[in-house]
Amino acid sequence: MSLLNTIKKKIFELRSELSYKVALWQHAPKLPALEARDRDLLNHLQKEGAYVTSLEELGLNSSVNLLKAASSQLSNMATPNNSKTCQKLPQIYTVTDLPEFSAWANEKRLLNIIENYIGLPVAFHGVHLRKDFANENQFGTLLWHKDSEDRRIIKIFLYLNDVEEQQGPFEYVPKSFTSKFSLNFYRIYYKLWQSGYLGIDDQTLNKIIPKSAWKSCPGKAGTVIFVDTKEVLHHGTLRTEEREALFFVYTANPPKAPELCTQYWDDTFARPKQMYSTTVDV
């Protein structure tokens, strides 16, 4: 890249960030009011970058239909033939178009919490139904990483089965350990850059941030995890048994990198009609 192009790129990035800051300032008076319980959730999310709760504690009316639909779709997922592969990829289905999933994702209380965190009007991009399988080595999302769809991203993970150590619970590093004013922030980004932003393994991270600071999130079926996957270093841990979960994705509207959001609603992964075609005679 020529020096002129580099300068132009930097100027564009600066203008983009300035426009973003102005948009945050302009939208601040328009942020929706929150109930006290949701304000506590937001404060914890802002401080730590993640918050663990449950469907029962959230008390959303659409949760019953969501769980029924998830159970139905899980029963239609064919078992992949990956017993001979050393890296067992997750099985991911896009269920964004099914009303039970979109109704839960668009509950007003959820959207209000997320809008207050993101600070701008919110876009719900979609939801993946996902099975993760036993693996002995870290690769893909088992590596520590950060997401890139936007400046702030909220993903909601919902466990559909009990998740203890053997099922590989979600794990993250609290924001306080990776502040932009700390050396750790730059050491981590250097390691991510060295990996081509694919992620870093446990051994590498442990040399920067000790394992004692990592936050594991085991939980019963129905556990709900809010997390800013841009701000927070995170991964799925190694497992010896399957984990079943839903992943809901939200950004500002529009996001900084809309091209990275299409996977939540396009044909990157199987969709319900494809799922049914493997189990129903036509």
Residues 22 and 146 in one domain: no
Q: DSSP E strands: which ranges in 36-75? A: 50-54
CB-CB contact of 225 with 139 (8 Å): no
Residues 181 and 55 in one domain: yes
Task: Give the tokens for residue 24.
Answer: 């945050």
Q: What is the pLDDT of residues 104-152, one digit of tens each?
A: 999 999 999 999 999 999 999 999 999 999 999 999 999 999 999 999 9
What whole-number distance in Å separates Cα of residue 158 and Cα of residue 62? 14
Residues 16 and 43 in one domain: no
Residues 158 and 212 in one domain: yes
Q: Is a pLDDT exceeding 60 seen at residue 13?
A: yes
- Hey, what amino acid is at 211? K
The pTM for the full model equals: 0.93
What whole-number distance in Å separates Cα of residue 167 and Cα of residue 238? 8
Residues 12 and 123 in one domain: no
Cα torsion angle, 36, 40, 42, 46, sign: positive
Mean of pLDDT values over 148-159: 97
What whole-number distance in Å separates Cα of residue 107 and Cα of residue 99? 12
Higher pLDDT, 278 or 164: 164
Q: What is the pLDDT of residues 175-209, one digit of tens each?
A: 999 988 899 999 999 999 999 999 999 999 999 99
The whole domain housing 76 covers: 35-277
Residue 132: predicted pLDDT? 96
Residues 10 and 147 in one domain: no
Residue 76: predicted pLDDT? 87
Residue 84: predicted pLDDT? 66
Residues 67 and 135 in one domain: yes
Mean of pLDDT values over 160-169: 98
Residue 279: predicted pLDDT? 36
Residues 5 and 80 in one domain: no
Judge whether 4 lies within some domain.
Answer: yes
Q: What is the pLDDT of residues 58-115, one digit of tens each?
A: 999 999 999 999 999 999 887 777 666 788 999 999 999 999 999 999 999 999 999 9
CB-CB contact of 46 with 58 (8 Å): no
What whole-number distance in Å separates Cα of residue 264 and Cα of residue 128? 7
Task: Give the tokens for residue 18.
Answer: 């300035």
Judge whether 282 lies within some domain.
Answer: no
CB-CB contact of 215 with 172 (8 Å): yes
What whole-number distance in Å separates Cα of residue 140 and Cα of residue 172? 15
What whole-number distance in Å separates Cα of residue 71 and Cα of residue 95? 12
Residues 241 and 110 in one domain: yes
Q: Is a pLDDT exceeding 80 seen at residue 274?
A: no
Partners of residue 200 on adjacent β-strands: 144
Mention every residue, 6+ apart, whose C-beta is less than 8 A from residue 74. 129, 131, 160, 244
**55-61-66-68 Cα dihedral, nearest 10 degrees:** 100
DSSP code, position 98: S
Mean pLDDT of the chain: 93
Residues 175 and 45 in one domain: yes
Our count of domains for the chain comes to 2
Residues 60 and 190 in one domain: yes
Q: What CATH number does residue 196 fall under?
A: 2.60.120.620
Residues 4 and 54 in one domain: no
